[in-house]
Chains A and B, each alone.
Chain A
Amino acid sequence: MHDADLSQALAEQVRAAAESGTPLLIRGGGTKDFYGLRGEGEPLSMVGHRGIVSYEPTELVITARAGTPLAEVEQCLRDHGQQLPFEPPAFGAGATIGGAVASGLSGPRRAFAGAVRDNLLGVKLINGRGQILSFGGQVMKNVAGYDLSRINAGALGTLGVLLEVSLKVLPRPAFERTAVFEMDEATALARLTALGRTSLSITATAHDGERLYVRVCGGERSLEAAEQVLDGQTLPESRDFWHSVREHSHPFFDRPGPLWRLSLPPAAPSLGLGETFIEWGGAQRWLRSDAPAEVLRDRAAALGGHATLFRGHGDTGEVFHPLTPALLRLHRNLKQAMDPAGIFNRHRMYSDF
């Protein structure tokens, strides 16, 4: 498919929908349909609106139209020795960069290089009035006006149609290596807490129930030094392993039953609630559990975090952790400010709006 700028046509569609009160369901590649609630509305396809708008490696910024395949963005960066710092999962060949930003999902590197929101510098979007607006920009620092770009990361398209996103990019590390250790969950958590207080250049960690994996990066000499400190076995197929974690092709994610994602303070203790896969230095725990949602949510909240029913939602109840009444009110007000007719991705994030 060719690069094309469909901004005006898309804005026209949004204006018409706003006038008639027709809900729209914004779609990129549809690779993340499983995530969140189903939502309702006429499909608004973004896949024709594609192309990299600007990329200058020395500026460490890439700007691309929302329908650009994630794979194309990543290939372009790879060609210049750079990468998206947050390693977004694609979850399928059709993934678009707009979908990656809207879903707000970040991969293994997140705890060490920031999430989507941390690397989102600016957006061009269509608001619910069908107006094309730009917020943020292509520079690293920008505090002019409220930050109406970062709020779109993880908003699942409920606040606007993303047309273009500007993302901070980083050099790919010269070398990356993974050390493996046989250890149980409690030992691994203690080790992760200790590692968190060193200045080693760690770029990912995982614990699969039996083994702890620690990925480090840097120049040749610094890697050697880091490996000496870590003192584990070297994992030969490092790249494949982290790819399987990022894309959930690792066997842990194959098993049947609901998959929960608990976001917790990193040093939170073992949960003992079911099979667990730990990432992000302890801050992200994938959990296989049939326990009632309230049990998991209460537990996560008591530990200072929250719980998302990532996969296996049976179309009843919420996917995301419920908001307090005061926060829900602010969410509704903000939604109303961006999308007064309430046409974007209705009930896609929470059933309330």
Chain B
Amino acid sequence: MSADALRPANLEEPRAVSARERDALIRELLDVVPSHGVLHDDEDLRPYECDGLSAYRRKPMLVVLPETIEQVQQVLRLCQAHQVPVVARGAGTGLSGGAFPLANGVLLGLAKFNRILAIDPDNRSARVQPGVRNLAISEAAAAHGLYYAPDPSSQIACSIGGNVAENAGGVHCLKYGLTVHNILELKVVTIDGELITLGGQSLDSPGYDLLALMTGSEGMLGVIVEITVKLLPRPERAQVLLAAFDSVERAGEAVAAIIGSGIIPAGLEMMDNNAIRAAEDFVHAGYPVEAEAILLCELDGTNAEVSEDIMKVRNLLIAQGATEVRTAGDDQERLRFWAGRKAAFPAVGRLSPDYYCMDGTIPRKNLGQILRRIGEMSGEFGLRVANVFHAGDGNLHPLILYDADTPGQLERAEDFGGRILELCVEYGGTVTGEHGVGIEKLNQMCTQFTPDELTQFHAVKAAFDPRGLLNPGKAVPTLHRCAEFGAMHVHHGQLPHPDIPRF
């Protein structure tokens, strides 16, 4: 294995599928899926070449777009019979290449599963198909005064099926949890084509918590075809504070102080100066562009509760050295404060031809330190970084700016990103908080897990998919790959901070 083989773009495929095999499969697929649901012309395949991690592209062998659960079952049975791998795809907004297609595989698009099947206001739940957009659930539930809590910044586009497969988070996850905390039941088709139900309509279910295991499994254990989500009552009042700081470290300390004070904000987000300027330029949210960092802190609940907490937080922020604290006076201003944060990725995208979004999580107390280290590395690698992140959960999203047309820059961005993730592991965190491993963080999984742990992951995968046909090669690296990666790492003498304890 060469260094190039370890690059995400060069994901290995299980086997080559001949043109004859492919044509035979197409004929059989056309018996079970309407002809407009089987795409095999170059032109039709192009939109499926990549997901949100668009630096990497590969044309899938075939795209299949089933319309019913029975069709999904039959497609999987055919793929199993032909030993052809299957990659599920929701809206393709994933940022780790989870839905990156295989040139010798079927890309199974779930876009046609776009119906909200039922809303049950008394039980505060909604039964939806996997291709439904995240935001569409809250829009449909609004008539009942309810909403679906996890709100990834991509919520206007990403699918709920993709959210489950990635255990997506959002700005309100600090108080309301991730996808895994907000779903009740999944209907899943196994690689054998069998339809199973995990979880249930009540708060728990008998046996092992396979609902949790399926959540965040990146399309490697089964295809999700129906989801029952929990809905929450809209809080009586939500109010957001914006605090400006003249140093990133101080903002980081303020985050710890708020959490330590016993208040759990609905959201607690941070942006650094590069991100502030980019967002302000883009959506004119009224952000203080001179600040080194801003915090957005949203409090919600009953009117009385919010009034009590907002005073406490305000005083805390001032005591922590905020140079300015603003309270959104009305809902419009609140939404404007958030608009800058929610548009931060595209806003940063305007600063540079390309950007690469990382997703490590660390214990909150290390925020200041790690941001300083990232700043130093930015100089070493010669690439700019903007930091936007879920500060309340310690989930970082450094955006590395680069230009793919300048030879070598993508590779430099990859290496820089890899170093940031390894730093997260050293500080007691993880290489991915919510975007998943996909094809992107396979190497860094070798840093976070021991060979025994990786072997255990492979055994669990085999319990669901013994032939390794569901999204093969993603999420969990082979031991062989890790050995190569380890050898190369030591060779370059790159392992920084050998003095920091690792676990």
Q: Is A256 an interface residue (CB 8 A)?
A: no
Q: Is the CB of B302 within 8 A of A225?
A: yes
Q: Which of A195-218 contact B (CB under 8 A)?
A: 196-201, 218
Give the distance to chain A from B77, nearest Cβ to Cβ, in Å.
15
Q: Which of B204, B263, B503 contacts A115 (CB 8 A)?
A: B204
Q: Is the CB of A334 within 8 A of B301?
A: no
Q: Is the CB of B202 within 8 A of A141?
A: no
CA gap between A143 and B464 in the complex, in Å: 19
Name A's B-contacting residues (CB within 8 A).
56-61, 81, 104, 110-111, 114-115, 117-118, 127, 131-135, 137-148, 150-151, 153-155, 159, 170-172, 174, 193, 196-201, 218-222, 224-226, 263-267, 280, 283-284, 304-306, 308, 320-324, 326-327, 330-331, 333-334, 336-338, 349-350
Can you list, as one digit per residue, whether each of B205-225 has a CB less than 8 Å from chain A (1) or not (0)? Answer: 111111011011100110000
Give the distance to chain B from A335, nearest Cβ to Cβ, in Å.
8
Q: Is the CB of A337 within 8 A of B305?
A: no
CA gap between A143 and B432 in the complex, in Å: 6
Q: Which of B366-404 contact A (CB under 8 A)?
A: 390, 393-395
Q: Is the CB of B121 within 8 A of A142?
A: no
Contacts of B201 in A (CB 8 A): 264-265, 304-305
Chain-A contact segment, one of B27-35, B82-90, B129-137, B455-463: B455-463
A-B CB contact pairs (8 Å), 23 listed: A117-B209, A127-B456, A139-B433, A140-B395, A141-B178, A144-B431, A146-B476, A151-B213, A159-B208, A172-B262, A199-B234, A199-B302, A218-B302, A219-B309, A220-B308, A263-B200, A267-B123, A320-B207, A323-B206, A326-B194, A333-B463, A337-B460, A337-B462
Contacts of B394 in A (CB 8 A): 139-141
Q: Which of B200, B428, B450, B475 contacts A137 (CB 8 A)?
A: B428
CA gap between A187 and B463 in the complex, in Å: 47
Q: Which of B194, B206, B365, B454 contacts A308 (CB 8 A)?
A: B206
Give the distance to chain A from B397, nearest Cβ to Cβ, in Å.
11
CB within 8 Å for A221 and B448 given contacts A147-B215, A226-B302: no
Considering residues B236, B363, B436, which has the most beta carbons from chain A within 10 angstroms of its beta carbon?
B363
Closest 7 CB pairs of A and B: A304-B201, A171-B262, A333-B463, A141-B433, A225-B304, A150-B212, A305-B202
Q: Is the CB of A265 within 8 A of B202?
A: yes
Q: Is the CB of B437 within 8 A of A334?
A: no
Contacts of A110 in B (CB 8 A): 203
Contacts of A321 in B (CB 8 A): 206
Can you list, as one digit per residue, whether each of B242-281 has a CB less than 8 Å from chain A (1) or not (0)? Answer: 0000000000000011011011100000000000000000
Chain-A contact segment, one of B44-52, B165-173, B290-298, B321-329: B165-173
CA gap between A120 and B106 in the complex, in Å: 36
CA gap between A132 and B503 in the complex, in Å: 13
Contacts of B200 in A (CB 8 A): 263, 304-306
Q: Which of A111, A222, A263 contacts B302 (CB 8 A)?
A: A222
Q: Is B441 an interface residue (CB 8 A)?
A: yes
Give the distance to chain B from A65, nearest Cβ to Cβ, in Å.
15
Give the distance to chain A from B252, nearest Cβ to Cβ, in Å.
12
Q: Which of A58, A196, A222, A323 contacts B207 (CB 8 A)?
A: A323
Q: Which of A111, A146, A336 contacts B216 (CB 8 A)?
A: A146
Q: Is the CB of B475 within 8 A of A145?
A: yes
Q: Is the CB of A327 within 8 A of B196?
A: yes
Give the distance to chain B from A291, nearest Cβ to Cβ, in Å.
19
CA gap between A63 and B394 in the complex, in Å: 18
Q: Is the CB of A143 within 8 A of B145?
A: no
Contacts of B215 in A (CB 8 A): 147
Q: Is B434 an interface residue (CB 8 A)?
A: yes
CB within 8 Å for A337 and B196 given contacts A141-B169, A219-B308: no
Q: Is the CB of A143 within 8 A of B434?
A: yes
CB within 8 Å for A320 and B206 given contacts A59-B365, A143-B166, A336-B463: yes
